[in-house]
Amino acid sequence: MSEKITVPMIRARKQGPKISMVTAYDASMAQIVDRAGVDMILVGDSVATTVQGHEDTLSVTLDQMVYHAAAVNRARPHCLVVVDLPWLSYHISPEETVRNAGRLVQEGHADAVKLEGGRKRLSVIKALVNAEIPVVGHLGLTPQSVLTMGGFRVQGRDLQAAKDLIADAQAIAQAGVFAIVLEGIPDSLAALITQSVNVPTIGIGAGAQCDGQVLVYHDVLGLNLGHLAKFVREFAQLAHTATEALQAFHQEVQAGSFPTDKESYHFDKTVLQALQQEQEPVLDE
């Protein structure tokens, strides 16, 4: 029905309806997100915490991100598909960064990539843009900085940190990112950044004045049984629903009421009779 969403269409949403973005890590999730009419899918490195069971996002590899991106794109979503560059895939050199992002595009069919950090990432952002790979920035509470931040801590709360984040946003916008994720910063700082750059901002724990909002699939749907950040709103309770359904399956298997006749395959009666005559009774008597 609706056409594929493109990078220029997202850039143009700076003026226009707010942008929605949700993570997905496989074809089934991508199909569900796409059918909901969400604008952008993020194949997030949050796959490390939500799917792989890690405490943080540092352990997910480029090979694994390629695998998840390819699975998402097999659903042929209309959403723009942005794929996270994992930790260490863009920290060594611009050359290695382009090679790694190129794999997300060629093998994972990414429409764009996302990387964390401000002015210290200018050279790799420029190298990606020069290679015709669209880039989304990510500032504030950058989860790949968990070791240096000393945990997942709200960023930009003091004057100097706030000024640094504004300068970072302006610099990466100038370098060519087509959107910026703002995570875990005061709402008024996110509003100031949103006003001071010409590309859309997509907030997560950054207040209502961003040009869009992003949440993790498991968080939006109530599938996250662990710690919930303050910024999460659960729009459904799917873990609860899933547990009830699996309990019902377990009980019906034990009771012998699953499967029924209608859920089973059957012989032609004549074949059954002939087969029964040929069989030695085994369990009788």
Ligand X SMILES: CC(C)C(=O)C(=O)O
Q: Which residues bind ligand X (CB under 6 A)?
A: 23, 42, 44-46, 84, 181, 183, 204, 214, 216
Residue selected from 44, 77, 86, 140 as contacting Mg ion according to rule CB under 5 A: 44
Q: Choosing among Mg ion, ligand X, ligand MHF, none, which partner's interface includes residue 42 (Cβ < 5 to 8 Å by kind)? A: ligand X
Residues flagged as binding site for Mg(2+): 45, 84, 116
Q: From 11-19, 58-66, 146-154, 169-177, give the range in contact with ligand MHF by CB under 6 A.
A: 146-154
Distance from C-alpha of 81 to C-alpha of 7, rounded to nearest angstrom: 10
Residues flagged as binding site: 45-46, 84, 114, 116
- The answer to whether 79 and 34 have CB atoms below 8 angstroms apart is yes
- The answer to whether 232 and 210 have CB atoms below 8 angstroms apart is no
Residue selected from 84, 168, 183, 211 as contacting Mg ion according to rule CB under 5 A: 84
> 83 in helix, strand or coil?
strand
Answer yes or no whether residue 230 interacts with ligand MHF by CB under 6 A: yes
* Token duo for residue 195: 């006003």
Q: Choosing among ligand X, Mg ion, ligand MHF, none, which partner's interface includes residue 152 (Cβ < 5 to 8 Å by kind)? A: ligand MHF
Is 95 part of the annotated catalytic residue set? Answer: no
* Token duo for residue 154: 């709200």
- The answer to whether 199 and 11 have CB atoms below 8 angstroms apart is yes
- The answer to whether 231 and 205 have CB atoms below 8 angstroms apart is yes
- Continuous H helices in the chain: 7-11, 27-35, 47-50, 62-73, 94-106, 122-130, 146-149, 159-175, 187-196, 217-220, 238-255, 269-278
Residue 84 CB, nearest approach to Mg ion (Å): 4
Distance from C-alpha of 22 to C-alpha of 31, rounded to nearest angstrom: 12
Residues flagged as binding site for 3-methyl-2-oxobutanoate: 45-46, 84, 114
Residue selected from 30, 33, 34, 45 as contacting Mg ion according to rule CB under 5 A: 45
Are β-strands 212-215 and 179-183 bridged in parallel, bridged antiparallel, or unpaired?
unpaired
Bridge partner list, 212: 19, 202
Answer yes or no whether residue 183 interacts with Mg ion by CB under 5 A: no
Count residues binding ligand MHF (CB under 6 A): 17
Query: Catalytic residue among 3, 55, 183, 244, which?
Result: 183
Q: Choosing among ligand X, ligand MHF, Mg ion, none, which partner's interface includes residue 184 (Cβ < 5 to 8 Å by kind)? A: ligand MHF
Task: Please give the residue ranges that form the binding site for ligand MHF (CB under 6 A).
Answer: 46, 49-50, 57, 141, 143, 152-154, 184, 216, 218-219, 224, 227, 229-230
Catalytic residues: 183
Task: Please give the residue ranges that form the binding site for Mg ion (CB under 5 A).
Answer: 44-45, 84
